[in-house]
Amino acid sequence: MDIKDFIAPFAVWKRAFEKPFTVKKPIDERPGAPRYRGFHINDADKCVGCGTCEAICMNRAIDLVPVEGRDAKEGDSGLRPRVDYGRCCWCALCVDICPSGSLNMSNEYVWIDSDPDVFRYTPGVEPKPWDGSALGYRRAEGYRLLDGTRVPMPELDHHEAVKSFLELVRGWSREQAEKEADRCVSCGLCIASCPAHMEIPGYIKAVRDGDLETGLRLLYQTNPFPEACGRICTHRCEEACSIGTDGDPVAIRWLKRYIADQVELADYSKALPRKEASSGKRVAIVGAGPGGLSAAYYLALLGHEVTVHEKDEAAGGMLRYGIPEYRLPYPALDKDIGYIESLGVKIERGAPVGEGRSLASLRERFDAVFLSTGLPAAYGLDVPGEKHPRVLDGVAVLAAATRGQVLGLGARVAVVGGGNVAMDAARTALRNGASVDILYRRREEDMPADPDEIREAKAEGARLVEKAIPLEVKDAGGKARFVWNEATMVQKEAGKRPVPEPIPGAIHEEIYDSVISAIGQGPELSYIAEADGVEIRRFKPVVDRDGLATAAGKAPVFAGGDLVNDRKDAISAIADGHRAASAIDRLLSGKGA
Amino acid sequence: MRRQNEHVIPPETRATPDLSSGKYLVMWQGPQHPGITGNMSLRLVADGDTVVDCETHVGYLHRGFEKLMERRLWMQNFPLVCRIAVPEPDFNEYCYAAALEELAGVTVPEKAVWLRTLSLEMIRLASFLMWIGGQAGAFGHGTIAQWSVTMRDYVLDLFEELSGGRIYHMYIIPGGVRGDVPDGFLDHVLETMQVIKKNLDDIELVMFHNAVFKMRAVGLGYIPPDWVDKYGITGPNARSAGVARDLRKDLGYLAYPQLDFKLITGGRSDAFERAELRLAEMYQSIDLIRQIVARMPKDGPFRERLPNPLHWKIPAGETYVAAECTRGEYGFYVVSDGGDKPRRVAVRGPSYTHAVSVMERLVRGVNIADVAGLMVSLHTYPPEIER
Amino acid sequence: MNELAKELAARYGARDWHDRRGDLSSTVVDPIRLHDTLAWLKDSAGYAHLSFATAVDNIERGVFTLTYTVRNHEQGHSLMVHADVDRANPVVDSIHLLWGQGWTYQREMKEWFGIDFPGSPRVDEEFVLEGWEGPPMMRRDFDSLAYSDATYEGRPGRVTHDPATRMQERLYPEAGK
């Protein structure tokens, strides 16, 4: 102890004349730091109500609530997160994980009220002074809790692919599939968009858990064509995927394929439900496409005896005759169909309904009939010269390829159309060594075909000619001289898609060995007689919600698939088949319609 | 009466005073005590104004974290762990993250290693600043507490800028950290270090050259070196007893092996020297922060991507990850059964022994007025006892 | 460290030695030899520092797995000593004479898991749970959420909606018939 120990403490007095450390509220403002984790803000238009914020919140501070003026729609539940600040701990994991990036935080931290219940609100819906705040916590660049990048799918090199009909998409290994399945947040926004409302989060979880038998069981609950749909489905689910709001959507279709590929057909019966005891009822199905066989599967499962009448020599419909084998190899399709047949479904191949086997006779012999004859008749080009021998029908070309017939398309091929049939025909022609032009009335972005198919067709060497309106097909020494008029896109009505208008004088022509017309197909309804009581309107049987087409009479007639619905894809046909099967079962078992 | 430089070793066994004799006074100190020891209470038995027996009582801050963690996903526990030691949340974040990374076989990017080290040193400084205010306050020097708590707030301003939170930073996330430093942040760090260093010089002058502090702290709470292992004493309490242990050196975690610093030890092992030693460690922290700022990589990723937090499963296993916090060995024992939630998480905080066994023994024979000062000199935080 | 493993095996029947990290290993002994193992590690093997002691409820195997982590500062190595005790009759020798803070861990394990350490000071006193009447709270079969739901009232007005269910109700209510 020395004298300094008595004097030094008085040094504190020197601070009496310094500026104090305190902030003079409210004279001096003290805003939160730019990264401050303050009250939530949410871009309610960007938010899709997936509830991932709620799932990660360890305090259960978030509820998903309906908000006025926002109903559910595809890819949006219409719900929005409501934050209870009695529980929120401001950790911002909800911001970190938000798939769309709509949920953020402002840097505002002062909010005083005597009513405790106001500290619970729906950001972005109930206006607050800090809405739209530019400052506050955001996910740092390069930092995400979720993975926005899809696991790459191994595919054949395009130069290789075009040399054969080998399957282009090779499928995932277990590690790849589990990694992709891990990206899913199980929000379930996808289910509504799937025509069959498949239990998508459930089977993706099964992939993650490595429990493929559960996965297969979930697939078959709503879809007996997992091998086919796992390859060629139009995957509307992926458009609804919340991960896709700011990244690649989860590859739901490939995960479905992974499950079906991994389980051997011999093991299916272990995973899938047994069929119920025989009901003694008999159901006839016309057309062994995805719709008809889906109905057959669910009816057989319910104990009914099912006979399918198929005009072609093999079952599968468009899946077999319309989709080339490099997209859907026949063994994969045969696996789906094989399992359906293993339940005792009888498929009579090469047995068209019509003359000699009328619909009326089916209604006599069976307790119910389901029509799923699809759209087998291709539309013509509807221009002068459309009957030229070198003008071919796209669906017929694809069917011939399936049958292994020599196509004889020649060296220069034009494909007219922008749908999947056009792409498939073009790529089939490429695989036959032709050089291919795809001519389409509108622009590439207007094409109804799957973007992957367009991309692949181009990668394989097809040339795309956009805005080409067919005018005429002339003969050029046995070849076809295809004449078209170049168009410009005109916005005629606001809010509607622009229409192609011919540019006067911009006429082009080219000589082709073959011109494949793939501009759409129509139904073949001649087998339905007026006496059958099936009302036809605009070339479609008129059906109710369950697919019932007859009001009264003998055995009820149902219809579904491309024949009836507007979506015209396999998964919609499968959904129709399932729905009709349930309705038929209710009728036959007397449970009421 | 205790005299300066006299090493009184309190008896090992508890006194058994006859409370019905009327000679003794039973009094409770805490749980609402202004000595910044947090909420815990001491049941003191005094003979005159000398404590003869003490029982510690904890539980006022028990929130069941270890149980809660078993019910939450691995990543959901990340915002939870920081609450276990309020003034030093970052050590919880680091130990939890490092344990998960070890079990999951994840390597953290270099940049994150440095940012983690920076955060841990910054919070060390902030925690010591809060402690020194408490230590001064316990002996009636409230002015120092006002200065040092302001200085702590300046560090918290830095955390606010870096992480978006002042108290709970939630910055060290499994896989790395949540963001790179904002523009200008490192300059702010260096400016703040300058201000704090100047303030520490003032504190050094008025607190450590102060007759009152010397009279009361010198010789108070002597910890003999052989207690260190016997009671599991760590940190400045052990180093002041001359035991040269510092996990930053011993375990060599994060960027510490690349930093230049010396172990600070003492030998007198009383409240005054422990305070001196902590003051020296504050200067050392400032130096370390400057080194980190100078040597930290400028670019590069700051987080390793982990699986989706909603499904993340960690392979079965167990580990114990420790770090040197201001008070000593802070550690997380984490057990995974291979699931998406922890099987067990146990937190080891230094106060578990410092505030209970060591305190109960050291307080025997101490004047009632010195109990608070003694407790603060052990630098204890009750929440890490009860979790 | 393998010499230590051998020595512990020979002296106390220690087994299942695992090197978790360069500076962290674990081993298992019978509960009856736990005290002697720790005493030997502390007094003769340089593992003088007790980092912590705790238990894990391995309810599936019907045991509590005790974990004592001791550290040898000179060699820079930590060792986790495990012992499985019968969940139905969890009684373990006390280590309060080995380490001055041992009794606190034991008091905690008594309160949180119901593991008894006869002779340990104040082992039956409440530790952190004042007035607790439920079962030992860290046991796996104590459901803290169910307890909380039964004991406390939630905030009124809290209701949440599942997105997929909501979308079914609004977009395709006919499904699932």
Determine, for residues B250 and C69 on separate chains, whether the beta-carbon distance falls below 8 Å: no
Could you tell me the pLDDT band of residue B325, with boundaries at 50, 70 and 90? Answer: very high
> Nearest CA of chain A to the CA of C148: how many Å?
14
**What is the pLDDT averaged over residues B329-358?**
93
Determine, for residues C144 and B67 on separate chains, whether the beta-carbon distance falls below 8 Å: yes
Residue C33 has pLDDT above 50, yes or no: yes
| Predicted local confidence at residue A357, as pLDDT | 84
Q: B183: which DSSP letter?
A: T
| Predicted local confidence at residue A591, as pLDDT | 64
Min mean pLDDT across A392-396, A402-406, B31-35 is at: B31-35
Residue C40 has pLDDT above 60, yes or no: yes
**What is the pLDDT averaged over residues A353-378?**
87
How many beta-carbon pairs below 8 A join chains A and C?
A: 68
Q: Are A83 and A59 in contact (CB under 8 A)?
A: no
Residue B343 forms contact with C (CB below 8 Å) = yes
Q: Which residues of B touch A89 (CB under 8 A)?
A: 79, 168
Which pLDDT tens digit goes with each residue over A154-196? 988 888 888 888 888 888 999 999 999 999 999 999 999 999 9
pLDDT averaged over chain C? 90
Which of A197, A241, A587 to mutate against chain C (most C CBs within 10 Å)?
Answer: A197
Could you tell me the pLDDT band of residue C177, with boundaries at 50, 70 and 90? Answer: very low
Q: Which B residues, 8 through 67, put their C-beta within 8 Å of a C-beta on chain C?
A: 55, 58-59, 62, 64, 66-67
> Nearest CA of chain C to the CA of B334: how many Å?
10
Min mean pLDDT across A100-104, A485-489, A534-538, B94-98 is at: A534-538
Q: Which of B231, B317, B320 sits opposite C69 (nearest CB)?
A: B320
Residue B256 forms contact with C (CB below 8 Å) = no
**What is the pLDDT averaged over residues A111-127?**
91
Determine, for residues B305 and A35 on separate chains, whether the beta-carbon distance falls below 8 Å: no
Residue B5 has pLDDT above 60, yes or no: no
Q: Quick one: A567 exposed, middle or buried, by C-beta within 10 A (0-12, 13-18, 19+)? A: middle
Can you give the three-state secondary structure of chain C, one letter per residue? CHHHHHHHHHHHCCEEEEEEECCEEEEECCHHHHHHHHHHHHHHCCCCEEEEEEEEEEHHHCEEEEEEEEEECCCCEEEEEEEEEECCCCECCCCCCCCCCHHHHHHHHHHHHCCECCCCCCCCCCCCCCCCCCCCCCCCCCCHHHHHHHHCCCCCCCCCCCHHHHHHHHHCCCCCC
**What is the pLDDT averaged over residues B235-258?**
91
> Nearest CA of chain C to the CA of B79: how many Å?
19
**What is the pLDDT averaged over residues C124-131?**
87
Determine, for residues A65 and C162 on separate chains, whether the beta-carbon distance falls below 8 Å: no
| Predicted local confidence at residue A414, as pLDDT | 93
Residues A229 and A226: their CA atoms lie apart, in Å, by 5
Residue A371: partners with Cβ closer than 8 Å, 6 or more residues away? A286, A287, A359, A528, A534, A541, A549, A557, A558, A559, A560, A563
Residue C69 forms contact with B (CB below 8 Å) = yes
> Nearest CA of chain B to the CA of C169: how many Å?
26
Domain range summary for chain C, segments of one domain joined by +:
2-154
Determine, for residues A49 and C160 on separate chains, whether the beta-carbon distance falls below 8 Å: no
Which pLDDT tens digit goes with each residue over A404-461? 898 889 899 999 999 999 999 999 999 999 999 999 999 999 999 988 889 999 999 9
In chain C, % of residues over pLDDT 90: 62
CA nearest to B351 within chain C: C101
Determine, for residues A49 and C171 on separate chains, whether the beta-carbon distance falls below 8 Å: no
Which pLDDT tens digit goes with each residue over B149-205? 999 999 999 999 999 999 999 999 999 999 999 999 999 999 999 999 999 999 999
Q: Which of C158, C164, C174 sits opposite A63 (nearest CB)?
A: C158
In chain A, % of residues over pLDDT 70: 99
| Predicted local confidence at residue B116, as pLDDT | 95
Residue C44 forms contact with B (CB below 8 Å) = no
**What is the pLDDT averaged over residues A244-264?**
93
Residue A375: partners with Cβ closer than 8 Å, 6 or more residues away? A521, A522, A523, A562, A563, A568
- Global pTM reads 0.89
Could you tell me the pLDDT band of residue A593, with boundaries at 50, 70 and 90? Answer: very low
CA nearest to B334 within chain C: C56
Which of C166, C169, C170, C177 to mutate against chain A (most A CBs within 10 Å)?
Answer: C166
Chains touching A by CB (3 or more pairs below 8 Å) = B, C
CA nearest to C170 within chain A: A72
Is the CATH number 3.40.50.2300 carried by domain C2-154? no
Q: Which domains occur in chain A, in start order?
A: 25-145 (3.30.70.3270), 158-271 (1.10.1060.10), 282-376+523-588 (3.50.50.60), 378-520 (3.50.50.60)
Residue A138 has pLDDT above 70, yes or no: yes
Q: What is the ipTM of this complex?
A: 0.91
Which of B178, B203, B212, B304 to mutate against chain A (most A CBs within 10 Å)?
Answer: B178
Task: Go through chain A and tell me how many residues it has.
Answer: 593
In chain B, % of residues over pLDDT 70: 97
Determine, for residues A140 and B178 on separate chains, whether the beta-carbon distance falls below 8 Å: yes
Determine, for residues B75 and A105 on separate chains, whether the beta-carbon distance falls below 8 Å: no
Q: Which of C57, C128, C145 sits opposite B71 (nearest CB)?
A: C145
- Look up residue B115 and give its amino acid: L
Which pLDDT tens digit goes with each residue over B359-378? 999 998 888 888 888 989 99
> Nearest CA of chain A to the CA of C160: how many Å?
5
Residue B7 forms contact with C (CB below 8 Å) = no
Could you tell me the pLDDT band of residue B1, with boundaries at 50, 70 and 90? Answer: very low
Determine, for residues B161 and A52 on separate chains, whether the beta-carbon distance falls below 8 Å: no
pLDDT averaged over chain A? 90
Q: Which C residues, 130 through 159, put their C-beta within 8 Å of a C-beta on chain A?
A: 155, 157-159
| Predicted local confidence at residue A288, as pLDDT | 92
**Pair of tokens at residue A448:** 């109804």
Q: Which domains occur in chain B, in start order?
A: 65-386 (1.10.645.10)
Residue B327 has pLDDT above 70, yes or no: yes
Which pLDDT tens digit goes with each residue over A41-97? 999 999 999 999 999 999 999 999 999 889 999 999 999 999 999 899 999 999 999
> Nearest CA of chain A to the CA of C170: how many Å?
6
Determine, for residues A1 and B205 on separate chains, whether the beta-carbon distance falls below 8 Å: no
Q: Where are the beta strands (DSSP E) in A216-281?
A: none
| Predicted local confidence at residue B33, as pLDDT | 65
> Nearest CA of chain A to the CA of B180: how many Å?
8
Q: Which of B79, B144, B305 sits opposite A58 (nearest CB)?
A: B79
**Pair of tokens at residue B100:** 């998960």
